[in-house]
Structure 1
Amino acid sequence: MLEDMIDPALPLAEQNARLRAILAALMDRSEHSRMPSRPMGQLTHVVALEQQVRSRTRDLAETLDKLRVANARLSQAERDAVGARNSLVDALEAMGEGFAMFDARDRLTLWNSQFCAALPDIRDQLDAGLPFRDYVQTVSQSDAIDLTTATERRAWVAQRLQSHMRRNVNFTVPLRGDHWLQVSEQRMASGGTAIIQTDVTAMVRTERLEREKLLDEQAQMVRATLDHIDQAVLIFDAKGRLAGWNRRLREIFAPPNALLASGTPFTHVLNDLMRRRLLGRGNIRQVLTDWVNGPAFRPPLGLDIVQEDGTELLLSAQAMPDRGFVMSFTDLTTERRAIAEMHRLNETLEARVQARTGELVAARDAAERANASKSRFVASASHDLLQPLNAAKLFLSSLAAMDNPAAQARLIGRVQSAFTSVEDILGALLDLSKFDIGAARARMDVVPLAPLFARLRDEFQPMADRRGLRLAVMPTQAHVRSDAVYLKRILQNLVSNALRYTETGRVVLGVRRQGAHLRVEVWDTGPGIPHDKQVDIFKEFTRLNPSGDGGMGLGLAIVEQACALLEHPLSLRSELGKGTVFAITVPVAQGAAATPTPKAESDHPPGLLSDMLVLVIENDATSRRALMGMLEDWGASPVEAASLPDAQVQIAELGIAPDAILADHQLDDGATGLQAIAALRAAHGAIPAILVTADHGLELAEQADGAGTLVMTKPLALRRLKRVLQQLPYYRPDQVRALDSGARSGDSSYWLHPED
């Protein structure tokens, strides 16, 4: 019951005060009771209360005894704890190493007097509750740590905080005065951190001495090496004391023997060199002093020194990792004088070179003008050159169509072959002249390879048969983006060259896919091309076998320039005795339709020339007569005219318009075949017409294409002319561009079947 009235947790004095208050209240109640008529009842009540008081007093005494025992035990525990803490502090003090403990919140709770003893300037800043980050920042600002710049201190703080995240860390901190402090961090089970700092200076110095002993042999090797180099070398330790030098130093500066001794301060060496004026003039003393006293990680130093006797030295200074440094002196006198002499000679040489360059430029300009003049002459004279050739070819064709004796037929065949060679040479010269004067223009379009390969096979199969070779043209349905005319000319030259130079075996024309490009390749089994000749063969008039049937050596020159114009890379691979491969890389035409299958001959109208009225407009009488004879041999009815007025008279006399017009482009008095065709069409309707010209240019071809007129170039391909004349009446001028959307302007081949 006593426990219900008095809280045992209250202090003993408070419990006694409450008990005395209860006792006083009971005594007062018994003395001032309001029941005087019942004294026995009151007495009984007082006796009961007294018993209760005695009982509770006894309980209170027992409680007080227990409380005294508990207080005694608590006091003993406090004495034991203080004793244990003092013992711990004594143990930490007796360690001889710095110790500190941070709690789980990284706040400083305990440390001994040796902790940070090597950093006396921060000891006063250690206080209970100091955060670990602030502790690291404070340590980084200590003057005792060997950190000189703010950047080094920031980097050290970042690295220190990063390592603190690991459970166990050991690292060494360099201190000023060649002292070293090892720090060990251990993470405790409670989450706190224990840090131990150990002075390892003696250990580091001992290891250094042992390492120096081990390096003695290497040092001897280094000294021998230094004595054999051409530079004068001075080596200083971290305190700026002389640690090494070489023989060349004595030769250049001849210093006193007493100066060249281990331990000589740098300032003494510098003063001696300055006193004897061996380092030139200027503020070199200040520059060297500032560099030597600079930070540990200072950049290298380089200075040019000119001594009073004219000797030129290059001073180079380089800091070492241990804060020492090396200075070297290189004698550049001979080299600099040679350079000066070279500059002097260069000045006179430059004058001579400029004079010679002027002469060469003048000669080059003259050569370019002569070359351009030659090219323009060839281009402008093409009509006069091809006109008689074309007439002779027509006459020969008419002569070959007659019944001739065998000997005469063979002679006619040889003459035709000779004219074909002349025609090829003139065509090559015209092509080269276009490239020389910059008149060549490429017109890129989608080109199907199947019909082009078929024409090349039909064109060169007779030549392959004559030479006993096998010509293999691999089938393909690919489309490429190129210029149809130039691409055909490139492949013609490559296949023709392969057939000319191959004695036995075969020639192969085919394609290989290479990503977004195709490689069109021509293989042969010829003798091969020597490696040292593989550049020369692309030069004009260059032939590997001049005595053989190899043409004039213009084909590959045209191939190279045409590939450059089209931006089609050209490559060559050859092996002596095994053959050669020429390849051109052509981009694939995206989204091109498949090449249609050539129609059979029966699908086309026969288109015979019998009774076809052909108006021939040609101002050259010889060519006109040759052409008239050829047309008559083919069964046509030709009508000749020398000019447009003459043609108009002939049509008026006949009373009907011709079925076709065959007009030369260059007429008398500046008139042109296009003008004549346009005038006759205006008078008599849309008459099919063919323009014959020696001009291979793109401009004329575009003009004729715009007028709905076919173009054939001289010298005329007679078989093709016959085919065109057979099909010409079935097409109108407004249908020419609709025949084939992929046709090349000026190229009549789109009128022909692939086998033509």
Structure 2
Amino acid sequence: MTASQLIDPADSLEDQNARLIAISEALMAKIEQSSDPSGLAYAQFERAAILEGEVRQRTVDLERALELLHKTNERLGAANRAAEAARANLAEAVESINEGFALFDEDDRLVMSNSRFCRDLADVVPDIEPGLSFHHYVELISQSIYLALPDGVTKGEWRDRRMQRHKDDRVIFNVRLTRDRWLQVGEHRTATGGTVILQTDVSDIIRAEREKRDRLMDRQAQMVRATLDHLNQGVCIFDNDLRLVGWNTGMEALLDRPIHGQLVGITFDALIARLNDEITFSEHFTRDHLLAWAHRRRARRPITFEVTRRPAQILSVFAQEMPDRGFVISFTDVTTEREAARALREMNETLEARVADRTEKLGHALDEARRANASKTRFVAAASHDLLQPLSAAKLFVSFLSDRATDDLSRATADKAVSALASVEHIIEALLDISKLDSGQAIMNVQDVPLNEILSSLRTELTPMAEAEGLSLHIRDTDHIVRSDPVFLRRILQNLVTNAIRYTDTGRVVVGVRRRGDAARVEVWDTGPGIAPEDQKTIFQEFKQLGPYMSGSKGLGLGLAIVDLACASLGHDLTLRSEPGRGSCFAVTVTRSSLAQRGPTPRRSEGREARPRAEGLVVLLVENDEELASALSLTIEEWGSHVVHAQTAEQALALLDEIDIAPDRLLLDHQLGPGMTGLELYKQLRAQFGALPARIITANRDRALAEKCRRAGVDLVPKPLEAASLIALIDDEGPAADR
């Protein structure tokens, strides 16, 4: 048995120590009295010593526990004293507040309040005790005999509204009590979810504000009266019972009588009846309409109408409802304004008649101008077509002579003739472009255009021209793809480069492309004489040239005019930077395509062979111009092929039936006079002989015709014809649709 089994753990430490001491003494006594020789006495002594050690340890623990308990009691006492002092200080502070104060806990139970809380509600004060619920507190307030309820509000409604406000974190409002007293109630939420209520007596403040407002209203009433008397309009005011309560001197002037006696307090209906013989309403707004508006039970909208008083006086009437359901009516004499408006209307009618007459005359003049412009456009197109026909023949004849020339002088002369004819061709093409752009008939087919294809073709075409002028032409390759019309973009760049070559005496011309965000800027630099700032707008006008070139030795001055018009039509930004003596830079900015960029387009071959490789072919030529047909026949037959010529489509079909030969190539003029066109003839021949290499030739530059030829699978070649175009036809191995 151990020591722990001899004592009861439930006993106090004092009892346990006493019991252990008693056990130890008993064991010691027994050891001393025992004569057991076997050592039992020593064992008992040893057990007693152990018990004494446990007793000593328990005694130490007991002393420590008592000391700790003593310190804890001292701290608890200090804390209780501090809490009591804080509570006393808080109660004293709350009581010192001038306003009524109350604190509710997070469960909406009253924790504490001061003596001023609900002091003005004497019948509620006895029930203000800690533990009072907020709902019961509001119920007590709503039932108090000292609470002055708002008009039309019951006690239950006031209680519900008060409880609804209790849901907000912060509320401030005024409560009216009996005997003209007011309490301002402020309700604030604490951090722990409790509620603090402050009640402040604001009766003196509200009474002072009321007196101040009354004085202000009296002053405002005087000011309003003075203002009304100084108005040009007549004004009268009716209360919510439709009785006259206010007016001004202007109203008395309109009525030609003072308003007193029976008129004071007169009803609106009676006043209208008195004025029945003096005022005439219009058919759009009658007396009944006005009376119905005045007696309307719902909100009235402002109204404006006019009446006539006496034969010559016109009054504009405006009526508007006031907040108290009364209304105010003003009368304005607008006789002078209406007379002026009538005179102005008559004047306007006279002016409109004159303007209509002038407009009609201008319309006729505009129609004449449009007809003249259309006639000019048709004339330019027709003249260009008529000029391009013999020009094509002349170029072919001269080329034929150049090939047959046996001496250098004849060959040089023929080459100069070809160059002169090419210049005439460029002038005619420029006139056609100017005519279309001016008349708005130019059709822009915006699409993705690889810039390098245009620049490569310009390099091939214009390098000989630059070398002939003693200049170096550098056109750098690019990989940009832009959104533009390929034909007009090529014409723009061709004109800029050609213009730079023509007006540069020495040096070089450089063409390059720079990237500018989502756009590409094509720049044409030259080392020419430069352009003065005052002349940089003039050069873009038609037939305008500068300095020594005004004689037309470098052209007619149409190239830059075409560039300006074409860029404007396409929406491309055209800029010029130039300084006299230091050259010029023309730049065209074009939007880049969203397609992925591809590598630079390979340069085209620098030239074609002088004659086609194929020989012995039968070429059907349908051309109604004798000179051009003769030149074409002479050239093709010189290359070793045979020509079957007809002037019209009908003659061609009949001739083919007669000789019973299927042609190898087709060269068809589109405009063949009355009857079938060249494109229609091509479709019929294709149905009869199958797909044949063919070209449609025309001086018509209409984009719609080119699109029709593309859909039909045949190439369209513009006049004047080049020998290279004929060589391409002879060497062609299949129709456009199959290539």
**TM-score w.r.t. structure 2 length?**
0.57
Q: 1 CA distance for matches of 2:153 and 2:289?
A: 40
Moved more, 399-408 or 612-621: 399-408
Stretches of structure 2 lacking an aligned partner (at least 5 in a row):
1-109, 282-286
Moved more, 160-169 or 502-511: 502-511
**Aligned partner of 2:158 among 135, 139, 152:** 135
Q: 2 CA distance for matches of 1:179 and 1:499?
A: 102
In structure 1, the partner of 2:209 is: 207
Distance 1:183 1:544, change over 3 A: farther
Q: 2 CA distance for matches of 1:99 and 1:589?
A: 83
In structure 1, the partner of 2:120 is: 95
CA contact (8 A) 1:98 1:116 kept: no
CA contact (8 A) 1:613 1:659 kept: no
In structure 2, the partner of 1:339 is: 341
In structure 2, the partner of 1:733 is: 734
Correspondence list, 1:68-147, <5 A? 95=120, 103-104=133-134, 108-111=138-141, 113=144, 115-119=146-150, 122=153, 125-126=155-156, 134-135=157-158
* Partner deviation per Cα, 1:219-272 (whole Å, 9 max, x = no partner): 999999999987677899999998997x9888877775989xxxx989799998
Moved more, 696-705 or 400-409: 400-409
Q: 1 CA distance for matches of 2:697 and 2:138?
A: 107
**Aligned partner of 2:698 among 693, 702, 705:** 693
In structure 2, the partner of 1:390 is: 392
In structure 2, the partner of 1:597 is: 602
Question: How many angstroms does 1:732 deviate by?
Answer: 0.9
In structure 2, the partner of 1:169 is: 171
Which SS does the other structure have where 1:110 is aligned? helix
Question: How many angstroms does 1:642 deviate by?
Answer: 3.6
Task: Give the letter for the 1:388 counterpart.
Answer: P
Distance 1:300 1:107, change over 3 A: farther
Q: 2 CA distance for matches of 1:330 and 1:466?
A: 89
CA contact (8 A) 1:503 1:526 kept: no
CA contact (8 A) 1:169 1:186 kept: yes
In structure 2, the partner of 1:636 is: 639
Q: 2 CA distance for matches of 1:331 and 1:438?
A: 58
Distance 1:362 1:732, change over 3 A: same
Distance 1:110 1:288, change over 3 A: same
In structure 2, the partner of 1:456 is: 458
Q: 2 CA distance for matches of 1:664 and 1:421?
A: 23
Q: 2 CA distance for matches of 1:223 and 1:474?
A: 88
Task: Give the letter for the 1:117 counterpart.
Answer: A
Question: How many angstroms does 1:207 deviate by?
Answer: 3.3
Q: 2 CA distance for matches of 1:173 and 1:506?
A: 94
**TM-score w.r.t. structure 1 length?**
0.56
Q: 2 CA distance for matches of 1:686 and 1:563?
A: 40
Question: How many angstroms does 1:390 deviate by?
Answer: 1.8
CA contact (8 A) 1:93 1:113 kept: no
Distance 1:121 1:446, change over 3 A: closer
Task: Give the letter for the 1:692 counterpart.
Answer: I
**Aligned partner of 1:312 among 310, 314, 339:** 314
Matched, 1:510 2:550: no
Task: Give the letter for the 2:716 counterpart.
Answer: V
Distance 1:313 1:208, change over 3 A: farther
CA contact (8 A) 1:619 1:642 kept: no
CA contact (8 A) 2:480 2:598 kept: no
**Aligned partner of 1:713 among 710, 718, 725:** 718
**Aligned partner of 1:623 among 606, 624, 628:** 628
Question: How many angstroms does 1:346 deviate by?
Answer: 3.7
Which SS does the other structure have where 2:720 is aligned? coil
**Aligned partner of 2:424 among 422, 425, 430:** 422
In structure 2, the partner of 1:79 is: none
Which SS does the other structure have where 1:733 is aligned? coil
Task: Give the letter for the 2:388 counterpart.
Answer: L
Distance 1:97 1:364, change over 3 A: farther
Which SS does the other structure have where 1:339 is aligned? helix
Stretches of structure 1 lacking an aligned partner (at least 5 in a row):
1-84, 127-133, 140-159, 740-756
Question: How many angstroms does 1:424 deviate by?
Answer: 2.8
Distance 1:444 1:171, change over 3 A: same
Distance 1:609 1:475, change over 3 A: closer
Question: How many angstroms does 1:509 deviate by?
Answer: 5.7
Which SS does the other structure have where 1:692 is aligned? strand
Distance 1:676 1:92, change over 3 A: closer
Task: Give the letter for the 1:636 counterpart.
Answer: W
* Partner deviation per Cα, 1:50-92 (whole Å, 9 max, x = no partner): xxxxxxxxxxxxxxxxxxxxxxxxxxxxxxxxxxx9xx99977
CA contact (8 A) 2:511 2:522 kept: no
Task: Give the letter for the 2:148 counterpart.
Answer: A
Task: Give the letter for the 1:643 counterpart.
Answer: A
Q: 2 CA distance for matches of 1:469 and 1:268?
A: 104
Which SS does the other structure have where 2:388 is aligned? helix
In structure 2, the partner of 1:487 is: 489
CA contact (8 A) 1:709 1:733 kept: no
Q: 2 CA distance for matches of 1:449 and 1:479?
A: 6
